[in-house]
Each structure stands twice: as C-alpha cells, then as structure tokens.
C-alpha cells in the first residue's frame, strides 16, 4: 500500500470521522468533536475517567497477564514455551485494553505505559504469521485446534471469532497510532487486513464473521488510510449476511437469517447486533447508501419502541444474550450485558451523526447514565457482565470473568465519553451532553472555545461560555432532552405519568430568549463575541415512568426518574426488603442531595406502603 497516504498522528475519538485525506472519503455533514479536544472538570464523569486511567487500565493489563492472555502472544511468537490458555477470543481482550490505554495516552503522557505497550505490541507482532494471519489459539495448535476454532483457517467463522478479534485489533491499532505516531501495531493491523481483503470478497471466499466487529475496525482503517479496499471489505461482510453463497446461514442469533437491507427489527445476540448496526451506520455514512440508512432506521425504530429497557439496556434473554420478541422485557431475568449497552451507545452516536436529531442522543444519554455505568464500580476494579432491573441481592460485581469482554470494553469506552459531548458541521455547533469542562471546537476556519459550568446530572442548570477567536455568525444547537418535556423515550414504550411542572428556559447574555426547537435542539443563531453566555435551565422534578401495557412484566409497576437518572429502590435503604413495596400514585417524592454518599449523589425520599410480595 502507499504509506504516504496515512496522515500523521491525528487525534480523534472512537467513531469520529474525517481522518483520511484521500478524496474518496465521503464528506460528512456533522462530525463529533474528538475526545482529545474536550476536557472534563466535573464531579461526576471526571473522577470516573481518572479512575479508569489510574486503576482500571493497569488492573485489566494485570488480569490479562495473570490469565495467560498476554502470554498467549509470546507463546505463539516463539518467545516462551507453553500451551494456549483460555478462550479462543481472549486475544480481543488484550486489543481492547490497548485501545483504552492509547486513549489515555492521548490526554496524559505516561512514559511507563508507553513502554509497556511497546513491549506488548512486540509480542503481538511476533505472534503474527508471515502472511498476516493472527489467531494465537490456532498458531499454538495448528494440527489439532480446540473445538470452536475450526479445523482450518476460516472454516468455522460462525463461532471461531477469528474476524471478531481482528476488528478489535484494528480499532486498537488506529488508536495507538493516533496517540503515539508509532506504526508498530498499525503495521500488524494492515498486514492482517490486507490478507483478509485477499481471502474474502465477491470473487473469493464468501464467509462472514459470526460475531460482528471487524466491520467497525475496517471502517476506521479506511478513514485513517483512505484505502478503499478496507471499506469495500466491511460492506462485503455486511452485504453477504443472509445469503447462502457456498455456506450455511447462521440464523437469527447472528443476524444472518436474511440480508441486512431487508431486516427491520433487532434480533439475536445483542452485542453482535449492536456492532453490526454500528458497522451499517459507518458504511451508510461513508458511502451515502440510502438503503443502509433506511434499514438501520427501521431497526432502530423497532428497538426503541419495543425492545429496549428503561435503562437503555438491550438483550432480554440470558440464555442467548439476545433480544427477545416485541415487548419481551422481563426485569429479574433481563440480561442487559454491559457490552450491549456500549454497543447501543455507539450505535446511537452514529445515528445522530447521520440524522442530526436529538432523539438519538436522548437514548445515548439514557444508556450512559443507566445501562452502562452500572457495569463498573466506583473503585474501577469490579464489574457487572449482566445488569438486570431486579435482583434478590445475590448479584455482585466481580473482578474478572472467564469471558471478560465487558471489563475490557469498559476500559476502552470510558475514555471516549468526552467525544460524545459536542459535534460540529454545516456552520453549527451541537451541544449534546452537559458536563462541566471545556471543548475546543473547529468551526469556520477558527477554534471556538466552549466551556460548561454545571452540576449535571444532579442539577439541571447549565451555564455555557462561548469564545470564538474572532466574532462570527454561527448557530449553536443546544439539546433539550426529551425527559425535560413529556417524552421519556422517543416512542410509546415508556411514558411519564405526570406532565412536566415547568418548562426548560434559555437565556443569552442574561436576556431570556424563546425556545426555537428543531429536532430536539434549541437553535441560537447570532454573531458570537468572545465571552457570550448561554444559560439553560432544565427543571428536574421527580417523574414516575410507566411502560406500555404490552410489556406484561411491568403491568402495575412504576419506575422513578429525575433528570437523566433512573433510580433503584434498594433493600439496604428500606428495612431489608423491597419486593413488597407499593408506591401510591399520590405519594410525594422529593430529591435530597447527600454529598457524603457514593462521592455525592442526589437520592429520592417518599412514603410507600407494604403489601404482598409478587
């Protein structure tokens, strides 16, 4: 390949676009402002990101060492003797932690971590076979690979995870190159991608990955290098699903029951599905293919209207880690895998970038605060794989799992959260999330500094200061969350019992301005001067949320929400038992800040009665 086409180390959030200079990259109307240009100084997210940097990343590397995940590369590369340890997809965990570590390096230099990555990448490079193939469990067992790997390369793609692993390698390689400018891991990734591009295609092998992910990684390689074959390969893997070209279909579990362009609702393994929808959104964005946009629009509409939990979690069936039928949303047996929440967040970010509609950010925010964060402890070293909505108290966060996809996914996702706050395009700035801190936003040939002062999510008052380098006319779109009005989610799956007691308000330089709302955003178009202020006030009453009656498990049940936060009624706060609590519709509920609890939270108080436990 032409190495000159790769740009120097451009810093960019996971999922953002615009990395390649090649002319065949389709311009995108709206792009995310990269997380490297956004700094958090708040009391909610900032400590969590710092804990991820100081605790979770080194903890995850330590676990990868203790469980043989890293030694597998050294063994496969002939650097040490021994057999493969663990599961066939354990390579991917190492790649995900590298990705998270690379993100950490972009915001804070750490020579020790940098050297550690150099040593680890050398082991990965040694494990790669001369033609680019990389799969440690096969290289260590070439003549008798374990069950699930397939007798030969690519012979059991339904379960082997050979291509899934590579997707995470590609994401890690792009992140590491952007963070350090070093090509060491990127060269491994490109060698692998070139092999797979030769092996698969319309005139070659017609297999597809059983577990999607490589499509996302290939799209990132394309954005970085401008090499069209990577995008073509991602699209090929998607286009081949549902077609029995020289192979057997995998069925609904792997979203391989019908062509992706004909699918209209989410099915099967929730993480595989979420990653596939992200890949489809990437292809739609990069090619402008309206058929892809139409397909993921249909799937998203069904998900948000019939197959999503009130926390933003997805995946109702534990046995298959899968979506259920329409309105099949049990509470105690909900699976809601942490990885699935991350996939849902990534998917909704991509949907926003396609459509510039706040409804997708509403779902993204719901996932961030509720479906995702429950998956990691405040200490940063304990994790949930499954996040049910009801528990008998036996569910405990764990330090690690045999299948540790969720802890390693947390490692890479948390540092990318600042990249979801702002977006820019078409002469406008989009303020999507409310977090105290600052962003440096490229707009119209200059940099616009935007700072936020807020105690969100506990307080709905947000003060923004906008400082362009020189005065300029542009539009600032400020998201008005659906929960601040009368919309719990962008469908009739959940709704508030009460009407909002007050409406959001907006002020510019202390003067009230009417809410000019378009697609969920308040538009403020003016000639901005350095130091101009925008003040958003979002009323945060306690709201009762009820489900569509078709959700049988939630008939006569109510959830409690304040701002973006869904609340949990816990036995430790209620005399040791909660299953028999009944909350009268007229019971008063009040919010109470408790600075000494869990780093400072706002709790809800009210009076319930007790009845017979269901």
Sign of dihedral through CA atoms 116, 117, 119, 123? positive
Q: Give the phi and the psi of residue 608 in degrees, each rounded to 5.
A: -110, 170
Bridge partners (DSSP) listed for residue 244: none
DSSP class of residue 554?
G
Element (H, E) at 578: none
Number of H helices, E strands in the chain: 16, 21
Angle between helices 184-199 and 214-225 (to 10 degrees): 110
Cα diameter, the chain: 75
- Cβ atoms of 281 and 275 within 8 Å: the answer is no
> CA-to-CA distance for 611 and 614, rounded, in angstroms?
9
Three-state DSSP at 23 gives coil
Q: Which residues pair with 14 in a beta bridge?
A: none
Q: What order do you get walking across the sheet with 428-431 strand by strand?
A: 31-32, 422-425, 428-431, 472-479, 521-528, 517-518
DSSP per-residue string spanning 408-453: HHHHHHGGGGGGGSEEEETTEEEE-S--SEEEEEEETTEEEEEEEE
Integer Cα distance of 415 and 407 in angstroms: 14
Rounded to the nearest 5°, which phi and psi values hold at 108?
A: -155, 120
The answer to whether 476 touches 524, Cβ cutoff 8 Å, is yes
Written as six digits, the tokens of 413 are: 């996702």
Q: Tokens standing for 513?
A: 């301005």
Q: How many CA atoms lie within 13 A of 40 on its CB side?
A: 25
Using a 10 angstrom Cβ sphere, with 0-12 exposed, 13-18 middle and 19 or more buried, the burial of residue 520 is buried
With CA atoms as reference, report the closest residue to 171 among 140, 200, 212: 212
Q: Which of 259, 194, 257, 271 is nearest to 230 (CA)?
A: 194
CA angle 118, 122, 123 (to 5 degrees): 125
d(CA 411, CA 146): 29
Give a three-class secondary structure readout of 225-286: HCCHHHHHHHHHHHHCCCCCCCCCCCEHHHCECCCHHHCCCCCCEHHHHHHHHHHHHHHHHH
The residues carrying an active-site annotation are: 321, 405
């Amino acid at each position: 390949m032409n190495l000159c086409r790769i740009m120097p180390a451009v810093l960019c959030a996971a999922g953002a676009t615009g990395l390649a200079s090649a002319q065949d990259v389709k311009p995108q109307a709206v792009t995310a402002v990269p997380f490297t240009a956004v700094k958090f100084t708040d009391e909610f997210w900032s400590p969590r990101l710092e804990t991820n940097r100081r605790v979770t990343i080194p903890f995850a590397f330590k676990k990868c060492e203790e469980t043989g995940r890293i030694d597998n590369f050294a063994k496969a590369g002939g650097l040490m003797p021994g057999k493969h340890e663990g599961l066939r997809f354990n390579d991917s965990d190492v790649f995900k932690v590298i990705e998270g570590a690379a993100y950490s390096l972009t915001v804070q230099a750490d020579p020790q971590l940098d050297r550690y990555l150099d040593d680890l990448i050398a082991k990965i490079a040694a494990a790669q076979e001369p033609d680019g193939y990389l799969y440690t469990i096969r290289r260590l067992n070439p003549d008798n690979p374990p069950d699930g790997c397939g007798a030969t390369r690519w012979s059991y793609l339904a379960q082997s995870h050979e291509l899934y692993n590579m997707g995470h390698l590609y994401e890690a390689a792009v992140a590491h190159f952007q963070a350090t400018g070093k090509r060491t891991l990127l060269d491994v990734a490109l060698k692998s991608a070139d092999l797979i591009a030769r092996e698969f295609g319309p005139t070659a092998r017609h297999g597809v990955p059983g577990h999607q992910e490589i499509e996302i990684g290939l799209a990132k390689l394309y954005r970085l290098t401008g090499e069209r074959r990577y995008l073509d390969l991602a699209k090929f893997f998607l286009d081949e699903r549902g077609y029995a070209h020289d192979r057997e279909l995998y069925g609904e579990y792997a979203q391989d029951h019908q062509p992706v362009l004909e699918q209209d609702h989410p099915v099967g393994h929730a993480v595989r599905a979420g990653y596939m929808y992200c890949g489809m959104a990437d292809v739609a964005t990069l090619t402008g293919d309206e058929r892809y946009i139409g397909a993921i629009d249909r799937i998203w509409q069904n998900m948000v209207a019939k197959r999503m939990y009130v926390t933003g979690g997805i995946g109702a069936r534990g046995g298959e880690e899968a979506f259920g039928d329409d309105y099949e949303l049990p509470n105690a047996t909900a699976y809601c895998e942490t990885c699935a929440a991350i996939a849902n967040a990534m998917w909704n970010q991509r949907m926003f970038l396609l459509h510039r509609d706040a409804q997708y950010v509403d779902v993204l925010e719901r996932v961030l605060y509720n479906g995702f964060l429950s998956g990691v402890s405040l200490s940063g070293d304990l994790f949930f794989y499954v996040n049910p909505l009801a528990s008998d108290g036996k569910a405990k966060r764990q330090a690690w799992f045999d299948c540790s996809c969720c802890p390693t996914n947390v490692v890479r996702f948390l540092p990318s959260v600042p990249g979801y706050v702002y977006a820019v395009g078409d002469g406008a700035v989009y303020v999507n999330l409310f977090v105290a801190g600052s962003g440096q936003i490229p707009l119209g040939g200059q940099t616009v500094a935007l700072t936020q002062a807020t105690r969100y999510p506990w307080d709905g008052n947000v003060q923004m200061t906008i400082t362009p380098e020189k005065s300029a006319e542009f539009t600032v779109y400020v998201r008005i969350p659906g929960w601040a009005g009368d919309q719990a989610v962008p469908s009739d799956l959940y709704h508030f019992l009460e009407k909002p007691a007050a409406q959001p308000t907006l002020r510019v330089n202390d003067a009230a301005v009417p809410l000019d709302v378009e697609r969920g955003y308040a538009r403020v178009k003016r000639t901005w001067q350095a130091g101009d202020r925008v003040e958003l006030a979002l009323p945060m009453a306690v709201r009762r949320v009820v489900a569509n009656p078709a959700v049988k498990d939630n008939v006569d049940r109510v959830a409690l929400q304040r701002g973006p936060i869904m609340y949990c009624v816990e036995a430790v706060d209620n005399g040791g038992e909660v299953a028999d609590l009944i909350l009268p519709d007229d019971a008063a509920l009040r919010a109470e800040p408790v600075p000494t609890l869990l780093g400072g939270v706002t709790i809800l108080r009210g009076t319930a009665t007790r009845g017979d436990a269901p």
